Amino acid sequence: MVVLAPRQLPTALEALAVNIVEVLQKEADAFSVSGVSPKIALSDLQFTRVIDPGNQLPGYEGVWRNSRNDRCGMLTFNSDDSFYAEYDLFCPHPRDARWFVEMVTVWGRAGDLRSEAKLIPSIGG
């Protein structure tokens, strides 16, 4: 396992990572109370190069950590050119009290990004 700086990703993945982080941020802004969404930054990711045991090709796993060093998000580039990213929000839904927003996610391949918020029923809603 090799730990990489964000700028050590292959160029094609770095450009895709910028796009993924932008989409995560838009989702976080949409599902947080106005002005309270976290700042999701590519520069805060700590990447590790990993090898897919099935085909021996490289992939990359990045982790975001909060001020207490707890994992609060991740971005994985798989060896088959797919990716998955998530970022924890843990907040009430800004427009529907029946829901609590656990996290926002983005997944897919270059040119085909999909995103959503993971909602769970609110105890008080």
71 vs 92: CA distance, rounded Å: 20
Q: Which residue, 27, 68, 15, 21, is CA-closest to 42?
A: 21
Question: Hey, what's the torsion of the CAs at 125, 28, 75, 44, to 10 degrees?
Answer: -120
Structural Rg of the chain based on CA atoms:
15
Contact 76, 17 (CB under 8 A): no
Helix/strand/coil for 96: coil
pLDDT (tens digit per residue) in 77-119: 999 999 999 999 999 999 999 999 999 999 999 889 999 999 9
pTM for this model (two decimals) = 0.88
Q: Residue 3: pLDDT above 90?
A: no
C-alpha to C-alpha distances, 42 to 9, 51, 78, 96, nearest whole angstrom: 11, 22, 18, 30
What pLDDT is stored for residue 10 in this prediction? 87
Give 108's contacts (C-beta < 8 A, 6+ positions apart). Answer: 82, 83, 114
Q: Residue 35: pLDDT above 50?
A: yes
Question: For residue 71, what are the β-bridge partners?
Answer: 65
31 vs 95: CA distance, rounded Å: 8
